Structure 1
Amino acid sequence: MSVVYLGFHFTVEPKDPGTEILIAELGELPFESFVEQEHGVTAYIQQSAYEEGMVENLYIVNSPEFTITHTVETIEQVNWNEEWEKNFDPIDVDGKCYVRAPFHEKTNALYDIVIEPKMSFGTGHHETTHMMIQQLLEMDLVGKKTLDMGCGTAILAILAEMKGAQPIDAIDIDAWCYVNSIENAERNHCHHITVEEGDARLLPGRSYDVIIANINRNILINDMATYADCLAPEGYLLLSGFYVDDIPYLDAACQPFGLVFEKKWERNNWASLRYKKQ
C-alpha cells in the first residue's frame, strides 16, 4: 500500500527570510521534504504523521512580521527526485565550492560536489549549510579527524574529505539521511567517511580535531558538554542551525567548557560560529 502524503503549499510574505525560518520550524516537525517556490515553499509530510494545529501553532505563522497562507493537497505518491529536479539549481559558494546535481554539468570549481537529496536542507541552499561550507573553505583540514554531527546529506563531510580531513564520522538520527549520506559519499568517491545512524549518545570515548554541528539551538546546547568532551585540545567546533538572536545562548553554553569564540558568520538572520578549545 502506498504512503499518502500531504503537500502544504505556503505563500510567504516577505519571502526572505520568511521562507528559511518557516523551513527551519517545519524541519523540527515530521515534515520530510521542502521544495522552494517562487512565492514560498511546499512542504511534504506523511498523512499519518500530521496532527491538527501543527502548522497553525508555528511561531512564524503567528508572527506579525510575516503574512503566511497555505493550501493543503493530498498526494498518493511523491516522486521526490522529480520534484527536486524541477526546482534544484546549482549552488556556487564563494567561487570555490560548487554543489550540483548529477544532471548538471561538471565545473572547474576547486571543490565540485555532487548531491542527490530528497530535501533542501543539506544541499547548500539553506543559509546554515552555505555558511558551514564557507567555514570549511577557509580552514586547513589536512589530516584532521572530523565529526559531521547531524550530517543530513553528508555534504559537509564530503567537503571536509576533499580538503584532506580523515578519518571522518558522519552521524544523523534520521534513517533516510543515514542511507542518503552513504549514497552521496560514494557518489563523490569518498573513502574516509564512516556514516552512522544515531545521536550524541554515540560519541563518548571518541576524540576529534574538528566537530561540525549544523542542527538547531536546543540540541546544540543540550549536547554541548558531549561535543566539548570529544574535542581535542586546540580543536575546532563549528556551529550553525540557529538565528542571530540565539548567539548569546550558544556562547553561554560554550564558555564553561573552555570553548573560545573565534569568528561569526551571518546570512539572512541565520548565524554560524567557530570556537576553539583551549
Structure 2
Amino acid sequence: MKPKLALLLLAIVLFNKANSQDSTDLFKQLGVDEPQKELVYASFKSSRIIMSHSVEMLREGVLDFRILHRFGKVSGGTYEFFGLDGPATVRLGLDYGLTDNISFGIGRSAYKKELDGFLKYRPLQQSKGPGAFPVSLVAVAGMTYAADTITKRYHSSDRFAFYWQALIGRKFNDALTLQIMPTMLHKNIVAQGEHNDLFAGGFGGRIKLSKRISFNVDYYYVINQVPGITNPLSVGFDIETGGHVFQLHFTNAKGINERAFLAETADHWDNGDIQFGFNISRSFQLKKKRS
C-alpha cells in the first residue's frame, strides 16, 4: 500500500503543479498577474510653470495659443492703480506638439520687440511599474531676436541670444510636483562689464489645492549675474476651465522670455517692485487623436 500511496501523492502534486502553471500562463496572457508600466501625466496643468517651461508636454497635434500679460509695478500705489494703469508688457505665442515628446513654439514680446522660438524634447518620462523611471527629463533649446536695440550700430547677429535648459521634474503624488532647471544663456553682444554667458539654477513647483486650482512657484538663481540685476521669482495660481488654463501671478521680472528675465530683472520683491500678471492658454486639437 505504501508504494501505491506514494505514487498517488506524486500524481496529485504533479497534477496540481501543471494546473497551476497553466493558470499562471493564462493570467499572463490576460495581463492579470503582470503589472504594466504606466507613464505619469499631469505633473503640471500647463507646459509652463509661470515664466519657465515645465516637464509637461503638449500632446501630439495640439496647438496652444498663449497670451502672457504683465502690468506695471504694484509699488506705483493708488495713483497708478497698483500697476494696472501700466505700462504693460505682453507676449503672444503659439506652441505645437509634433509628437507627445517633441514640441516647438514661437512668440513675440512687446519688451524690446523680441521674437523668440524654442524646441522642446522629452527623452524620458516619469513612470511607475516594471522598468519605472523616477523623474521626467526634458531638454529645451531656444533663441531670441531683439528688433529694438539701444544703438543702430548693432549688426543683426548681435541681436540674437540663445539658451539651453535641462528640466528634471518629479510628480511625487497628486498634490505635489517639483522641478529643477539648470540653464545656460548666451548673448551675442553685451554691455561693458556684463557676461556673454550666464549660468543659472532654476527651481519650480506645484501644489494642488483643488481639482482645478494649484499654487505654483518659479525661481532662478543666476550664478554670475552683474551688480544691479537680481534673481527672478514668480508665484501664482493655475485655474483650469475646460480648454483654458488661467495663470494669475506676481513677479519681479518685467521681461517674459528667458533672455529678458534671466539677464535683465532689476526689481526687488522687498521694495514692492513687483508686477501682477496673467497668462492665458487655449489649446486646440488640430490632429485627430490616435486610438
Q: Which has the larger radius of gyration?
A: 2
TM-score by length of structure 1 reads 0.29
Instruction: Name the one with the larger helix percent.
Output: 1
Instruction: Name the one with the larger strand percent.
Output: 2
The structure whose RCO (Cα within 8 Å, separation 6+) is larger is 2
